Structure 1
Amino acid sequence: MTAMNAARQPVEMEGVYSSAPVKGATTILQGALAVMESGLAVPGKTALNLIVLGVSEETVVNAGADGAAKVHTKRGVFKFFNLGADPVLVGDVGKDCYLVDDQTVAKGSGTNTRSVAGKIISVESDGVFVRVGY
């Protein structure tokens, strides 16, 4: 590609939204943490090497093959449940927390079995605010 020689209208995508192909035979509920696993979106879960996309904007049911449906996600700060057995504490603000499932986070990596969910922003009695998304 050569350098521009005339003005052009750039194509822009707002940085807080994205979409990804959903794994076949998978449902991702609205409000769920959605993650990438082997190039396909699935609900958040306890596993290594997952990349958090963000929170699902709608419920997506992919009854077909891998990639037959897409999930639209939003990055940002959202409240999730705090795992009682490994709770995020107020002193953990600013640190990473870890995925347990599509709505729950924990303080620790579960002896290296959990992926990072995001940065802890605030801890309240009924949940943890976490900045999620790449």
Structure 2
Amino acid sequence: MTQLAADRNTPERSGGTREVPAAAGALLFAGAMAAVNAAGNAVPVTEALGLKGAGRVENRADNSDGAAGDVRVKIRAGIFRYANSAGADELTQADIGSDVYGVDDQTVAKTSNTNTRSVVGKVFDVDDQGVWVKFS
């Protein structure tokens, strides 16, 4: 491309939401934590490696019977509260700013469980109801 020689109408996005193709066979519930797999498709967060936390699913997306990309998932970045793990994996105020690991589509943990979980976000806060997770 060459340098502009006139004004340009440059498209803009707020950065709050994205639409991602759902993985084949994926069912994502509204409010669940979503991740993007190695192929770039949306999946519910599970205890698995290679996932990248994407945010909160805005609307249920059912691609149970479809091929990858047949359904698109609206995912919102931001800070959302999810369930805290227990025992040695329970997050506390001392973990603010630390990575959180996905256990399932509504639970986060302090550790990778010996390299079986992916980092899905950062601890923003912890309260009696759960962990506030920041998704970029």
Q: TM-score range by the shorter chain?
A: over 0.9
Q: What's the counterpart of residue 57 of structure 1? A: 58
Give CA deviations for 1:85-105 in whole Å, capped at 9, x if unaligned: 421012111111110011100
Amino acid at match of 2:37: E
Provide the secondary structure at the position in 2 that maps to 1:34. strand
Whether 1:21 and 2:21 are equivalent positions in the alignment is yes
Q: What's the counterpart of residue 85 of structure 2? A: 83
Distance 2:14 2:96 in 1: 27
> Alignment identity in percent?
39
Amino acid at match of 1:64: G
Amino acid at match of 1:61: D
Distance 1:37 1:123 in 2: 27
Provide the secondary structure at the position in 2 that maps to 1:6. coil
Runs of 4+ aligned residues of structure 1 deviating over 3 Å after TM superposition are none
Distance 1:36 1:121 in 2: 21
Correspondence list, 1:1-80, <5 A: 1-39=1-39, 40-62=41-63, 63-80=65-82
* Aligned with 2:133 (options 115, 130, 134): 130
Give TM-score, length-normalised by structure 2. Answer: 0.93
Task: List runs of 5+ in structure 1 lacking aligned partners.
Answer: none
Distance 1:55 1:15 in 2: 14
Distance 1:64 1:122 in 2: 37
Give CA deviations for 1:29-73 in whole Å, capped at 9, x if unaligned: 001111111221110001111111111110001131111011010
Give TM-score, length-normalised by structure 1. Answer: 0.94
Distance 1:42 1:120 in 2: 21
**Over the residues paired in the alignment, what is the CA RMSD in angstroms?**
1.0
Distance 1:126 1:109 in 2: 22
Task: List runs of 5+ in structure 2 lacking aligned partners.
Answer: none
